[in-house]
Amino acid sequence: MHRVLIVDDEDVVRDVLSRMVKALGTEEVDTASDGTEGLEKIRNGSYDLVFTDLRMPGLSGFELMKEARSVSPAVPFVVVTAVSHLDAAINALRDGASDFITKPFKFEDIKKVIERVTREYNLMKSINGGNGRGGEAVKILNSEIFRKLQEINSLFSLTTEIDELKDNRMILKSLPSMIAKLMKANTVVLLTIEDDYVVPQVTFGSSTASSIPLKGSLFEKIKKPGNFHLLEIGEQDPWRKG
C-alpha cells in the first residue's frame, strides 16, 4: 500500500490505527477527524485504501462512501465499528465496503484486512488485464465473496441473538459467549470494578480470573475511557500485580 486514509472522530483510534498501518509498510498515511474532511482529502488525492468510522458528527461513514464513489469509484473502504454496532457493519458491507474491523482491533486484524484488500485489487487487475489467469482469479475472488457472506451471516445471527434478549441482565450474561463466537476466542471474561476491586462477573471458557485489588494491576492503567493496552504473548499475567 502506498497511501492510506484513516477517517475517525476519535483521536486515539486515528493514532493507533496510523501506527499499525505504518508498521505494515504503508508509505504514506493521512488522517481526517470527520467525514467532511475525509471527503476533501479523497477529492484532492489518490488513496489505495480508506479506513472509516461509520458514526461521526456531520458526514457519516455511509455518506462518505457514497460521495467518494463519484470521485474515486475504485477506492476500497474498510469500516471501523464497535461490536455493539455490528448491524451497521453489515449494512456497510452490503453498500460496497470491502471489509470491516471491530473496536478494539488488534495488529493482526489490520494486517489481514490489508492483505485481503491488496489480494482483491490484484485479482481484479488480473481479470481486467487479460493475462490469461482470469478464470483462476475469478475462482479466488468468488471464495473471498463467500467468506464475506459467511461473516455477514455470522454478524446477522449475533445481532438477532442480542435483539431477542429481554433485558440488560440477559444481555450481560450472554455477552461473553457472543464475543467468543465473533472473535474466535477460547476465553472471555466480563469484568466490573467494585470498591477498588476488579471482579469477574460472567465467564466463557476456562479462566482462572478471580477478584483482585485494582491498585497496582494492569486494569488500573486502562480503567479510564479511551485507554487501552495490547497484551502480547509472554507479557505479564493481567491477574498479577506489578
Better-scored residue on pLDDT, 116 or 125: 116
Q: What is the pTM of this model?
A: 0.57
Partner residues linked to 30 by β-bridges: 5
Better-scored residue on pLDDT, 237 or 25: 25
Query: pLDDT (tens digit, 9 = 90+) per residue, 166-225?
Result: 566 666 677 777 777 766 778 888 778 888 888 877 777 777 677 888 887 777 777 766
Q: Can you tell me the mean pLDDT for 43-72?
A: 91
Structural domains in the chain?
3-161 (3.40.50.2300), 185-222 (no CATH)
Among 20-24, 132-136, 154-158, 171-175, which is the least confidently predicted range?
132-136
Q: Which three cell numbers stand for residue 126?
A: 488480473
Query: pLDDT (tens digit, 9 = 90+) per residue, 80-115?
Result: 887 666 677 777 877 778 888 888 888 888 998 898
